[in-house]
Structure 1
Amino acid sequence: MRQSLAALAAALLFVSTAPLHAQQAASPVAEDGKLAYYGSRFAGRKTANGERFNPQALTMAHKTLPFGTLVRVTNPANQRSVVVRVNDRGPSTADRVGDLSPAAARQLRMTGAGVVDAKLEVVGRGKRKRA
């Protein structure tokens, strides 16, 4: 009887953590790719997590990272970096890994280029705003 209970407890523990492992596997810890930034016409529109887009906030859109994830974005061309919070989904084009707010793009000095190669590194979980 005790062995059955122990086996059941172990099975439940394994099953209950499976979604956590699946989510972690689907979300990269580090990623390289192309980034662009939002145009001013998106100011005030709702993002995928329900917030209003604020061009002055340090935020980004990413296809798979959970909302609230904090990401250090580095522009390898000038080694400038900024930490942003994921609050939207996108980009809609397959050749990019994300879109930045204009404030984040300015800190990376990428506004003249429009699209740049970048390095992304997950550095933590911020406060999740809305869902």
Structure 2
Amino acid sequence: MAQKIYLSVFPLLFVLSCATNGTKPVVLSGHDRPYKVYGKWYSPIKHARSFREKGIASWYGREFHGKKTSSGETYNMYALTAAHRTLPMGTYVKVRNLRNKKVVVVRINDRGPFVPGRIIDLSYRAARMIGIVGPGTAAVEIEALGMLREARVTGKTKHSLMPGNYYVGEFAIQIGAFKSKENALKLREKLANTYEDAHIVVYNIGNDKFYRVRVAKCATLDQARQYKKILRANGYPDAIIVAR
């Protein structure tokens, strides 16, 4: 962890952090739950649309290497990850060192920092890439880039960043995932009689192959939420929204 503590913070370009000393904030359905640290409640935000922030970055390394992060992942000091108090887990963030102009892109998978004046805790590798390891802290600007989106293109899995506006894009509703192709085909056939664009997405995890059954092609997250609500009411309680 960085040794030097800064008590002042640069002006925020877009303030979304919600910390209070009193009543527990309302839980935002479908997103990270509020949590309490050192007597303060923090409410993770719904999305990172247009999120920018300036302040002090620090880093954490060997002392935490191999331990669990707030997301449940194991902390790897050599991975490009970071901790933020309120950004959604999985958000990719561009971090720019305001002194030397070096830039690194990291993925949020932990909560913190909780030292006054600091806005982000970088992994050792990320901090080294933008020259923070030596001094311990640095003034930075962070910008949310979006979430990772997975797609199947010509039989191969492709990854891209879903823009920070998570309310617009292409969404589908996943009903189930099967190891049995036959079971997936049966469900798709059943769904096709009632719902539009019933399809199967094949996903490989190691040596295992899964057949994900999905319906619909929604242009906005609000449309997808309505579709999911209908499906759950019609006997598909495990229906979830996914990015196409």
TM class by shorter chain equals: 0.7 to 0.9
SS of alignment partner, residue 126 of structure 2: helix
Instruction: Please say if 1:23 is aligned against 2:50.
Output: no
Tell whether the 8 Å contact from 2:95 to 2:141 is kept in structure 1 after alignment.
yes
Change in 2 beyond 3 A, CA 1:28/1:113:
farther
Tell me the residue number matched to 1:112: 134
> Structure 2: any 5+ residue segments left out of the alignment?
1-29, 32-44, 150-244
- TM superposition shift of 1:28: 6.3
Looking at structure 1, the residues matched to 50 and 87 of structure 2 have their Cα atoms a distance apart, in angstroms, of 8
Give yes or no for the alignment of 1:40 onto 2:73. no
The answer to whether the 8 Å contact 1:32/1:117 transfers is yes
Cα displacement (A) at 1:126: 2.6
Q: Of 95, 101, 105, which residue of structure 1 is paired with 2:123?
A: 101
1:65-122 Cα distance to aligned partner (Å, 9 max, x none)? 0000000000011110000000000012121001000000010011111011000000
1:44-63 equivalence runs, <5 A: 44-63=66-85
2:113–2:120 contact (8 Å) kept in structure 1 = yes
> TM-score, normalization: structure 1?
0.76
Q: TM-score under structure 2 normalisation?
A: 0.41
Q: Does the 8 A contact of 2:93 with 2:143 survive in 1?
A: yes
Q: What is the alpha-carbon distance in structure 2 between the residues aligned to residue 126 and residue 88 of structure 1?
A: 16
- Which residue pairs with 2:113 in the alignment? 91
Check whether the contact 1:82–1:108 (CA below 8 A) recurs between aligned residues. yes
Q: Which has the larger radius of gyration?
A: 2
**Closer, same or farther: CA 116–98 of 1 in aligned 2, 3 Å:** same
User: Which residue of structure 2 lines up, in the alignment, with residue 11 of structure 1?
Assistant: none
Deviations 1:27-70 (A, max 9, x none): 76100010100031100000000011001100000000000000
Judging by fraction of residues, say which structure has more helix.
1
Distance 2:50 2:67 in 1: 27
Residue identity over aligned pairs, in percent, reads 43
Which of 142, 145, 170 is 1:123 aligned to?
145
CA distance in 1, matches of 2:73, 2:129: 22
The structure carrying a bigger strand percent of its residues is 2
In structure 1, C-alpha distance between the alignment counterparts of 2:139 and 2:54, rounded to whole Å = 7
- Write the distance in 1 (CA, Å) between the matches of 2:98 and 2:110: 24
Amino acid at match of 2:112: G
